[in-house]
Amino acid sequence: MPNIYSNLTELIGNTPLLELTHYNKNQESLAKVIAKLEYFNPAGSVKDRIGFAMIKDAEEKGKLVPGSVIIEPTSGNTGIALAFAAAALGYRLIIILPESFSIERRKLLEALGAELVLTPASEGMSGAIRKADELAAQIPNAYIPMQFSNPANPEVHKHTTAEEIWRDTDGQVDIFVAGVGTGGTISGVGERLKQLNPKVQIVAVEPFNSPVLSGGERGPHLIQGIGAGFVPDNYNASVVDEIIKVKNEDAYRTSRHLARSEGLLVGISSGAAAFAASELAKREENKDKTIVVLFPDTGERYLSANLYDEA
C-alpha cells in the first residue's frame, strides 16, 4: 500500500518548517525567524540523518559486516540515532558518553539496546573519543563511525537537510543558523545553500564558555550537544560567515520562552540557536529577511537538566 512504510529509517527527514510567529513578535524581530523542527525525525533528533547515513555508508564500503561492533563517542543524540538503526540492522552498539549528559538520553540508549560506557565530564568529548579508540583496539571487528570526521555526516545534510530548506522556502532563505557540535549540519547545509545562492549567510552558534571556533579556549558549559571543545574535522569554516557565542543562561531562558510563547518543547542547543537567530533578526540590515534556524531535538530529553525549572 502506497502510504505505509516498511522500515522506520524511511521516515528520516522532510521535517517541517515553523514560523515562530509569537516569538518573533515578542522579540520585536525585524526579520522572519523560521525553525526547522528536527525532533520530527523517528528517533527524535537531527542526528537520525547521520546515524543511518554513516551505517549505510560503512556497509557499502565494506567497513561494516555481519558480526561487526559499532563503537561511537557521542553527546547522546547520535548515539540514539545509531541505536535505533543498529537495532533495526542487527549490530551490537557501544556508546561512549560523557557522564555530564542527561539521564533521559542514557535511558533512551539503554532502551534501544546500546551498551553505555561513561567518561569523566571534565574530559569532554575528547575523553570520550580516547576511550572509543581504546575499546576499538580491544574488540574484534570494531568500527567507529566517528561523526566528527566522517564525510557521510556533512554529505547527508548537503543532500537532504539543505535541499528540504531550499524546497520548503521556495529558495527564499537569506540566513541559516545552527549550533556546531560535529560541524556536519552547518557545513553540509552551508555548502549546498551557498551553491544554490552564494548570498545566503551561514551563522554558526557555539557556547560563550567554550568558544573554540572563535579561537578561544575550551571550557565547561551547559549547552548539551554543541561545543565539543575542539574544532571538528567536519567543520568547514570557509562557508561560515559569522559565529555567535551564546551564554548558558540565554540558551536556557530562550528554550523556556519558546515553550511558553509557541508551545515548543525544544532542547538547550535549540534555545542557543534561537537566541542567536533573534539577535540577528533585530539588526536593521536584516529587516524583512528570512532566517531559518535549526532546532536539533526535543526538550523532553533535558527535563533532568532543570531546563524548565525556572519561569
> Is 77 labelled as part of a ligand binding site?
yes
> Is 181 labelled as part of a ligand binding site?
yes
SS3 string, the chain, reads: CCCCCCCHHHHCCCCCEEECHHHHHHCCCCCEEEEEEHHHCCCCECHHHHHHHHHHHHHHCCCCCCCCEEEEECCCHHHHHHHHHHHHHCCEEEEEEECCCCHHHHHHHHHCCCEEEEECHHHHHHHHHHHHHHHHHHCCCEECCCCCCCCHHHHHHHHHHHHHHHHHCCCCCCEEEEECCCCHHHHHHHHHHHHHCCCCEEEEEEECCCCHHHCCCCCCCCCCCCCCCCCCCCCCHHHCCEEEEECHHHHHHHHHHHHHHHCCCECHHHHHHHHHHHHHHCCHHHCCCEEEEEECEEHHHHHHHCCCCCC
Per the residue annotation, which of 68, 255, 269, 278 is the catalytic one? 269
> Is 298 labelled as part of a ligand binding site?
no
| Residue 247 bears catalytic tag | no
> Is 185 labelled as part of a ligand binding site?
yes
| Residue 107 bears catalytic tag | no
Per the residue annotation, which of 29, 32, 36, 47 is the catalytic one? 47
> Is 182 labelled as part of a ligand binding site?
yes
Active-site positions read 47, 269
Annotated binding site: 77, 181-185, 269
Binding site, annotated residues for pyridoxal 5'-phosphate: 77, 181-185, 269
